[in-house]
């Protein structure tokens, strides 16, 4: 948290919240650019437009054509939270996202959400646990769920894309209502778990009364360091590599084909946005751990240690689904990979493992995968998931417990705010 928060030129500080009210930023369409009058604005102790601070350490940009936390590299930690929206009007909802815009930019700069007040009888404006930590590649990704559009108070029904609806029931689903749906989601990713948590905590705190938490899930990924310093594909808790066949996040064409909604492909406000599927998948570690290696590999259709397709040696070698040995398919047709390959659809997987203590009913580990995927249309995920159906050998070892779909806004232009295209 940098000392830039401590600016206090007139000896009087105005909170960012107040500043928003004073300037009417966003609501009145006033855009104050970075080159505007920063000196004068800073004199108020708060700047109504918080820019990316390129000097911040381990920083990812907040502003841009797309939200962060999608095409950006997958960091080690996530705090994902699904919220119920209690804002009474569309205006309140919009103001909340305006406040979150500035706070997100500050947080991703590795700073406090708001400068602290001189009044020591006040609780600190920032909860403070990220003090001394750098930005840690924090990304904040915001999305809205189908239920938000059903709230008549917001008058957003006509802006709801027809594909934004609860995911269908899949054959082996055993959803726990405790982990289903939500009006709004925040995906907070960082290389440091405390930085990721701090961001969500402060965003929720500043919106208390306008949102309540429905469910949340933390997750982690660990990256073995390879010799050329290139990040290797992380392993899930079954020890298999997860994410090998992802689209190339640095190839715009690939991302435009798979992830980013193009103008005309959905409602206008979603151009540049994407759909986020969240699934909380319980993994039955105890049963997996007593399964023979040969069976484990046949379940995924890959070799465990190398990550290579069965019968191959390199992780990134192409999968040959037709290849037979002794009249049998090398990659079994009920393996996870084989079934996934039956559909042409692709998705960007950005999953994290989780470990939540023990299941009180069974005494077993409560552990698994917070599956997060991004795609321009939910049907990409639905087709793949349906292809697994009842056949997937992996079903024996996993149970889908949580499910939600969110439409993620496009990126925020400097001077604008999260969801501006939807709320204006």
Partner 1 sequence: MKKVVKITSLVLLSSSLLVGCGGNESTDEAAATEESQQTEGTETQQAAILEEEANTYKEFAMEQLDQFVLETEQFVEAVKAGDVEKAKELYAPARMYFERSEPIAESFGDLDPRIDARLADLEAEGQEENWSGYHKIEYGLWEEGTTEGYDETADQLLNDVKELRAKVETVEVSPDLMITGAVDLLNEVSTSKITGEEEIFSHTDLYDFKANVEGAEKIFEIFKAKLQEKDTELVGTLEENFATLNDLLAQYEDGNGGYVSYEELTDEDTKALSTAVDELGEPLSQMAVVVE
Binding residues vs partner 1 (CB under 8 A): 118-123, 205, 208-209, 212
- Residues 6 or more apart whose CB falls under 8 angstroms from that of 389 comprise 170, 171, 339
Closer residue to partner 1 in complex, CB, 7/205: 205
Least distance to partner 1, CB of residue 392, Å: 35
Say if residues 68 and 390 touch (Cβ distance below 8 Å).
Answer: no
Closer residue to partner 1 in complex, CB, 85/259: 85
Closer residue to partner 1 in complex, CB, 18/317: 18
Least distance to partner 1, CB of residue 21, Å: 8
Compute the distance between CA of residue 183 and CA of residue 236 in angstroms, rounded to an integer.
29
Say if residues 83 and 185 touch (Cβ distance below 8 Å).
Answer: yes
Determine the angle formed by the axes of helices 90-108 and 16-23, rounding to 10 degrees.
130
Closer residue to partner 1 in complex, CB, 186/259: 186
List C-alpha distances in Å: 53 to 7, 99, 110, 203: 16, 18, 9, 20
Say if residues 409 and 186 touch (Cβ distance below 8 Å).
Answer: no
Q: What is the DSSP letter of 10?
A: T
Closer residue to partner 1 in complex, CB, 136/202: 202
Compute the distance between CA of residue 369 and CA of residue 354 in angstroms, rounded to an integer.
6
Closer residue to partner 1 in complex, CB, 208/361: 208
Least distance to partner 1, CB of residue 202, Å: 12
What would you report as the CA-atom Rg of the chain, rounded to the nearest whole angstrom?
23
**Could you tell me how many residues make up the chain?**
424
CA 416 to chain centre: 21
Least distance to partner 1, CB of residue 123, Å: 5
The 10 Å Cβ neighbour count of residue 354 is 21
Compute the distance between CA of residue 155 and CA of residue 16 in angstroms, rounded to an integer.
28
The 10 Å Cβ neighbour count of residue 117 is 14
Least distance to partner 1, CB of residue 103, Å: 15
Least distance to partner 1, CB of residue 365, Å: 24
Closer residue to partner 1 in complex, CB, 87/261: 87
22 is written with which tokens?
């004073």
Closer residue to partner 1 in complex, CB, 120/169: 120
């Amino acid at each position: 948290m940098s000392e830039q928060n401590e600016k206090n030129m007139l000896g009087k500080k105005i909170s960012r919240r107040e500043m928003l009210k004073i300037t009417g930023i966003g609501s009145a369409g006033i855009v104050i650019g970075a080159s505007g009058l920063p000196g004068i604005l800073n004199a108020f102790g708060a700047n109504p437009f918080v820019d990316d601070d390129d000097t911040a350490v381990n920083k990812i940009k907040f502003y841009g054509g797309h939200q962060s936390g999608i095409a950006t590299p997958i960091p080690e930690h996530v705090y994902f939270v699904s919220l119920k929206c209690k804002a009474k009007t569309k205006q309140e909802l919009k103001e909340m996202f305006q406040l979150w815009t500035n706070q997100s930019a500050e947080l991703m700069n590795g700073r406090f959400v708001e400068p602290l007040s001189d009044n020591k009888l006040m609780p600190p404006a920032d909860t403070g646990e990220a003090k001394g930590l750098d930005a840690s590649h924090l990304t904040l990704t915001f999305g809205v769920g189908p239920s938000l559009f059903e709230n008549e108070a917001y008058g957003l029904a006509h802006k709801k894309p027809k594909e934004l609806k609860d995911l269908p029931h899949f054959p082996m689903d055993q959803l726990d209502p405790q982990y289903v749906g939500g009006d709004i989601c925040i995906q907070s990713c960082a290389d440091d778990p405390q930085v990721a948590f701090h961001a969500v905590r402060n965003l929720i705190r500043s919106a208390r009364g306008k949102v309540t938490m429905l469910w949340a899930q933390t997750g982690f990924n660990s990256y073995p360091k390879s010799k050329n310093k290139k990040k290797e594909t992380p392993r899930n808790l079954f020890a298999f590599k997860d994410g090998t066949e992802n689209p190339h996040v640095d190839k715009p064409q690939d991302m435009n084909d798979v992830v980013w909604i193009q103008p005309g492909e959905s409602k206008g406000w979603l151009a540049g946005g994407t759909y986020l599927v969240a699934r909380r998948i319980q993994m039955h570690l105890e049963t997996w751990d007593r399964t023979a290696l040969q069976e484990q590999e046949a379940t995924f259709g890959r070799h465990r240690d190398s990550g290579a397709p069965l019968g191959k040696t390199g992780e990134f070698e192409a999968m040959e689904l037709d290849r037979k040995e002794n009249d049998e398919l090398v990659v079994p047709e009920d393996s996870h990979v084989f079934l996934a390959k039956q559909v042409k659809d692709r998705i960007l997987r950005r999953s994290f493992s989780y470990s939540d203590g023990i299941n009180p009913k069974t005494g077993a580990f409560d552990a698994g995968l917070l599956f997060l995927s991004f795609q321009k249309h939910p049907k990409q995920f639905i087709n793949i998931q349906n292809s697994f159906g009842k056949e997937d050998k992996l079903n024996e070892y996993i149970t889908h417990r949580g499910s939600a779909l969110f439409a993620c806004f496009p990126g925020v232009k400097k001077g604008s705010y999260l969801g501006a295209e939807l709320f204006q």
